[in-house]
Amino acid sequence: MKSALVVAGFVIDHGPAAKSAGERLGRRATPAALASVGITNEHSIAWGCAQAFKAAGAELAVTWCNDNARFYVEPLAQQIEAAIALPLDVEQPGQLEDVFEAIADRWGRLDFLLRSIAFAPKSDLHGRVVDSSREGFTRAMDISCHSLARMARVAEPLMKEGGSIMTMSYIGAEEVIPDYGLMGPVKAALESTVRYLAAELGARGIRVNAVSSGPLVTRAASGISHFDVLLAAARRRTRRRRCAVRLSCGRRSKGDNWQHNLYRCRLPHSQLRQWEQRACDNQNRGGVMKAEVDGPQTIRNRPFADIAVGDSACVTRTLTQEDLLLFAAVSGDFNPQHLDAEFAASTRFHGIIAHGMWGGALISAVLGTHLPGPGTVYLGQTLRFRTPVRVGDTLAVRVTVTTRDETKKLLTLSCKCTNQDGVDVIEGEATVLAPTDKIERPAIALPDVRISQNGASTAKRRPRAH
């Protein structure tokens, strides 16, 4: 009998391809069914998981949380040829039961449940925990924590031969993380719920575990204040000095055996240690389903009508020696301060620093590809260079809407580049003419670049999307 797998809005029915993957890992030939709710777009953790299982020959079912998400999810469902596509808002009575009834009708069983949802009202998330409202705290707990228990309850009868339930957590459940706020105690409650569910369901052969990827740039993460600073801090703690770009289980980076780590969660709960709950936090140890991707498959904008004061976007980028050489070659700026180590050592900066406009170009990239995105017309920019940027520095580049002109469709945005130590290196203000129509285009693949210097060449990969 085939087993089914639901991945955060996905149900996966495994075929022969999954069998070989299980055998290579020394596990049961057919992976367990997985139910995971929370996909919103192609950057979602759930989408990365679904790609992995689809690549293993799985058949999937997809859910969306509301009509806005449906616009992004349905094309993804078509891409993976999902067998089931249904709405699932855990606050709406009956929708959860409808999804699992559809699973029962189609597959008759469920082996794996992967849940990837969390929510807190913005006003409570951005404030102090001590100031959180009763209504906001209650709603955050219901969606982010208690929904796991409800899902486990409807999944249990389908896990006839045992199974595994996984949910996504974060180190903010154990440590005080700046700006994580209300989600800290909510995640702590979630992890406690995981332990109790594991004890209650273990006798039926159902394992329950929490998995953390560390901080990732997702739509949900954009709701956390100063998330760019959190990313930079996490990056400093990792051995490789970088975080996962996004969870994309469909691809696998060298040394990151996401398959092995995922299948570990099928071991008896007594054999699972805190490693599973902190798979990537702090150490970024190639935890569950982590892999880098070359960038988004599509690029889309945010038209003027969808942009409000306070909206922001952020990307991160680490400066390399090759970046300096390429920027000099393209711009024609051969100032030895940026290229000649011997000369630069004798200057007030005591070493090579980046061209100031390298950071300015990153700001332009955020405006042109994220907020507002394609269709944006750059009208003006001011910049103040506060601190030099050196090779190896990682910048979080953030733009935030400060004013909007309804008549002229003009936006003013504050611009800030912050290094891995939390120091602001560039500040400024941009004025742009925002697009009025939605634009979505296939992302243009950038070429690899090879730098030739004194007869030697160095391959320069195109920059990764962060």
Bigger pLDDT: 1 or 244?
244
pLDDT at 314: 86
Residue-level pLDDT at 17: 33
- 219-223, 259-263, 269-273, 411-415: which range is least confident on average? 269-273
Banded model confidence at residue 372, pLDDT cuts 50, 70, 90: very high
Instruction: For the chain, state the CA radius of gyration.
Output: 23
Residue 202: what pLDDT? 86
Q: What is the model's pLDDT at position 453? A: 62
Q: Are 5 and 58 in contact (CB under 8 A)?
A: yes
pLDDT (average), residues 129-154: 95
Catalytic residue, chosen from 72, 170, 263, 378, is 170
- CATH for 4-277 is 3.40.50.720
Does residue 224 surpass a pLDDT of 80? no
CA distances to 25, 256, 257, 266, 269 from 260, in Å: 7, 9, 6, 10, 16
Most confident of 26-30, 89-93, 250-254: 89-93
Q: Between 316 and 445, whose confidence is greater?
A: 316
Contact 129, 182 (CB under 8 A): yes
Exposure letters 386-396 (e unless 16+ CB within 10 A, then b): eebbeeebbbb
pLDDT of residue 39: 74
Per-residue model confidence (pLDDT) at position 24? 31
Mean pLDDT, residues 144-162 taken together: 92
pLDDT tens digits for range 382-400: 999 999 999 988 898 999 9
Any idea which of 104-118, 233-247, 307-321, 366-380 has the lowest mean pLDDT?
233-247
Work out the average pLDDT over 369-374: 93
Residue 263 annotated as catalytic: no
Q: What is the pLDDT of residue 35?
A: 53
What pLDDT, on a 0 to 100 scale, did the predictor assign at position 214? 60
| Closest C-alpha among 164, 169, 213, 212 to residue 189 | 169
Cα 310 → chain centroid: 21
Most confident of 279-283, 415-419, 459-463: 415-419
| Residue 349 confidence (pLDDT) above 50 | yes
Assess whether pLDDT exceeds 90 at residue 137: yes
Q: How is 86-139 classified by DSSP, letter by letter?
A: EE--TTSTTHHHHHHHHHHHHTS---EEEE------HHHHSS-GGG--HHHHHH
Q: Which pair of tokens denotes residue 4?
A: 């089914």
Mean pLDDT value across residues 321-335:
91
Q: Among residues of the chain, what percentage have pLDDT more than 90?
A: 36
Average pLDDT, the chain: 75
- Tell me how far apart the alpha carbons of residues 462 and 466 are, in angstroms, rounded to a whole number: 12
- Quick one: pLDDT at residue 351? 92
State yes or no: pLDDT of 60 exceeds 50. yes
Domain coordinates in residue numbering, the chain = 4-277, 298-460
pTM of the model: 0.49
Range in 15-29, 208-222, 394-408 the model is least confident about: 15-29
pLDDT of residue 271: 33
Q: Is the pLDDT of residue 189 over 50?
A: yes
Confidence bin at 127 (pLDDT 50/70/90): confident
Q: How far apart are CA 93 and CA 65, in angstroms?
A: 13
pLDDT of residue 457 exceeding 90, the answer is no
Q: Which CATH number fits domain 298-460: 1.10.10.10, 3.60.21.10, 3.10.129.10, 1.10.540.10?
A: 3.10.129.10
The residue from 180, 196, 263, 378 that is catalytic is 180
| Rounded (to 5) percent helix, strand, coil in the chain | 35, 20, 40
Amino acid at residue number 382: T
